Amino acid sequence: VIGVVIGKTDVRSFPDRKNIGTERYTFNFTIRDSPTYFINVQCWGREEYIRSLSESFRVGDCVTIENPLIQSKEAEREEKFNPVTPSGYKLLLSENHSVVKTSSCYDTDTRLLALLHLPVKDPQDYYSLGDIVANGQSLHGKVLNVLAAVMAVSE
């Protein structure tokens, strides 16, 4: 699978249920290879492997994923913390079986760069900040998709 990384989480650790007293490490990222299709990728492994893999690419890089495990996703649980994707599947990467290679999008396919700026949601499924201000009371308690632009970042 070749795609551009459009999102990425930080590395997290969890107690390993099989090996009491040890930790398993994970992070997720989302890749896109067309305007319509993108998929979440979950990586698991030892701390050294996961930290090294996470540091090897960033959002905007193109990656080639070799030998991932394809799994059905558990939509309710997984989409709380990851982008909602049009696929019923996710890719699972493991230290022993999978490989991720990075390359320049210019070297791979310049069309992938344009995908970086496309929204992942239906353009008709957003509220603007103005809509929220004007209709705040009627929207109370609802989960909304917001379309906004960052104007400035500071301390």
- Give the pLDDT score at 128: 80
Domain 2-115 CATH superfamily: Nucleic acid-binding proteins (2.40.50.140)
pTM (whole model) above 0.75: yes
Say how far apart CA 117 and CA 140 lie, in whole Å. 30
Q: Per residue in 49-80, pLDDT tens?
A: 999 999 999 998 889 999 999 999 886 666 66
Q: Taking the CA atoms of 117, 121, 122 and 125 in sequence, report the sign of the dihedral they define.
A: negative
- Give the pLDDT score at 81: 67
Mean pLDDT of 108-125: 73
How many helices, marked H, and strands, marked E, lie in the chain? 6, 10
- Give the pLDDT score at 107: 58
Mean pLDDT of 130-149: 81
Say how far apart CA 129 and CA 136 lie, in whole Å. 10
Q: Which of 148, 22, 31, 45 is nearest to 87 (CA)?
A: 31
- Give the pLDDT score at 117: 75
Q: Which of 15, 20, 70, 13 is nearest to 41 (CA)?
A: 70
Helix (H) / strand (E) element for 27: namely strand 23-32
Q: Token pair of 61, please?
A: 């890089």
Q: Which residue has the higher pLDDT, 129 or 63?
A: 63
92 pLDDT band, cuts 50/70/90, is: very high
- Give the pLDDT score at 109: 66
